[in-house]
Chain A
Amino acid sequence: MPDPARHESEAVERLLDSTLSSVDHAEEIASGLAQSAGFDEDDLMKIGIAVREAVVNAVVHGNRYNEKKKVRFSVLKNSERFTIRVADEGEGFDFNHLPDPLAPENLMRTSGRGIFLIRSFMDELQIRRSESGGTELVLIKYKAKQEDRFS
């Protein structure tokens, strides 16, 4: 008999200010939902860091702390996947030509690892132009991969 909890969907959406406290707020929301979705401690940490990096990117590089600009943040969990969307109202950036932080010439750079960490910690990362012309990141973690580890 299927477990009804596995099929529960839940979604949260927030319009966040372009401040660093929004980063903590977004992480709190995502971590709470990820915990209720049954992710283990390791994945919770990875999701937490990935969300922080995505929102930092939106606040700092996208909206440049502009108080008139907002970050659209949403989390959707269902039986299959955990999806986080972070959209800014910035100018956008050339996400097809990001420097490789693992290249020897970039290894000692003090920045430029955010997107790399998101890719490392999530199962999927989509980067695209948001409706407002800024950048939207879609971060996905599949629940099946987590369950496979215990089966």
Chain B
Amino acid sequence: MSVKLNTRQVGDVSVVDVAGRITLGEGSSALRDTLREMVGKNQKKILLNLGEVSYIDSSGIGELVSGFTTVANSGGQLKLLNLTKRVKDLLQITKLYTVFDVHEDEASAVRSFA
């Protein structure tokens, strides 16, 4: 399986549930397209739920960084939710863990956008 993305609305926060692999090719381009579409629709509060992401490569990391920058440049915020240990480790070794606002609980993550 490559990647599955499902978008839902919780109040004014758009939550994207991501499952599978975010790797070069289909996985990273699907994430890029989804985030660009959301920014195009002027959605400013985006929460990426990575709880079901099994695997992410350097291209996937690049897409997270690119998404973060794109959303921030449009005046919005992109935050991360439910990192698996693997993804957390990966963000830590690349020193990106502190760049992202990371949450473990959806309700508090949603409230943090206020």
A positions within 8 Å CB-CB of B: 20, 23, 45, 48-49, 52-53, 56, 60, 101-102, 107-111, 113-114, 116-117, 120
Contacts of A111 in B (CB 8 A): 58-59, 62
Contacts of B61 in A (CB 8 A): 113
Q: Which residue of A lies closest to B99 (CB)?
A: A107
Tell which of B65, B86, B94 touches A110, judged by Cβ atoms closer than 8 Å.
B65
B positions within 8 Å CB-CB of A: 23-25, 55, 57-59, 61-63, 65-66, 68-69, 86, 90, 93-96, 99
User: Nearest-CB distance from B26 to chain A (Å)?
Assistant: 9
Is B55 a contact partner of A117 (Cβ separation < 8 A)? no
User: Nearest-CB distance from A60 to chain B (Å)?
Assistant: 8
Is B24 a contact partner of A107 (Cβ separation < 8 A)? no
Contacts of B96 in A (CB 8 A): 107
Is B59 a contact partner of A102 (Cβ separation < 8 A)? no
Is B24 a contact partner of A20 (Cβ separation < 8 A)? yes
Is B57 a contact partner of A56 (Cβ separation < 8 A)? yes
Is B95 a contact partner of A107 (Cβ separation < 8 A)? yes
Given the known interface contacts A111-B62, A113-B62, the answer about A45 and B99 at a Cβ–Cβ threshold of 8 Å is: no
Contacts of B68 in A (CB 8 A): 108
Closest 7 CB pairs of A and B: A110-B62, A113-B58, A110-B66, A114-B58, A20-B25, A102-B95, A111-B62
A interface majority secondary structure = helix
Alpha-carbon distance A61/B68, docked complex (angstroms): 25
Given the known interface contacts A23-B24, A53-B57, A114-B58, the answer about A120 and B69 at a Cβ–Cβ threshold of 8 Å is: no
Is A101 a contact partner of B94 (Cβ separation < 8 A)? yes
Q: Which residue of A lies closest to B64 (CB)?
A: A110
Contacts of A116 in B (CB 8 A): 58, 94
Contacts of B25 in A (CB 8 A): 20, 23
Q: Which residue of B lies closest to A108 (CB)?
A: B65
User: Nearest-CB distance from A141 to chain B (Å)?
Assistant: 17
Q: Which residue of B lies closest to A109 (CB)?
A: B65
Is B94 a contact partner of A108 (Cβ separation < 8 A)? no
User: Nearest-CB distance from B106 to chain A (Å)?
Assistant: 26
Is B99 a contact partner of A108 (Cβ separation < 8 A)? yes
Alpha-carbon distance A101/B66, docked complex (angstroms): 15
Is A49 a contact partner of B55 (Cβ separation < 8 A)? yes
User: Nearest-CB distance from A117 to chain B (Å)?
Assistant: 5
Alpha-carbon distance A109/B61, docked complex (angstroms): 10
Could you list 13 further interchain pairs (A-B, Cβ under 8 angstroms) beyond the known A56-B58, A108-B99? A23-B24, A53-B57, A56-B57, A102-B95, A107-B95, A107-B96, A108-B69, A110-B66, A111-B62, A113-B61, A116-B58, A116-B94, A117-B93
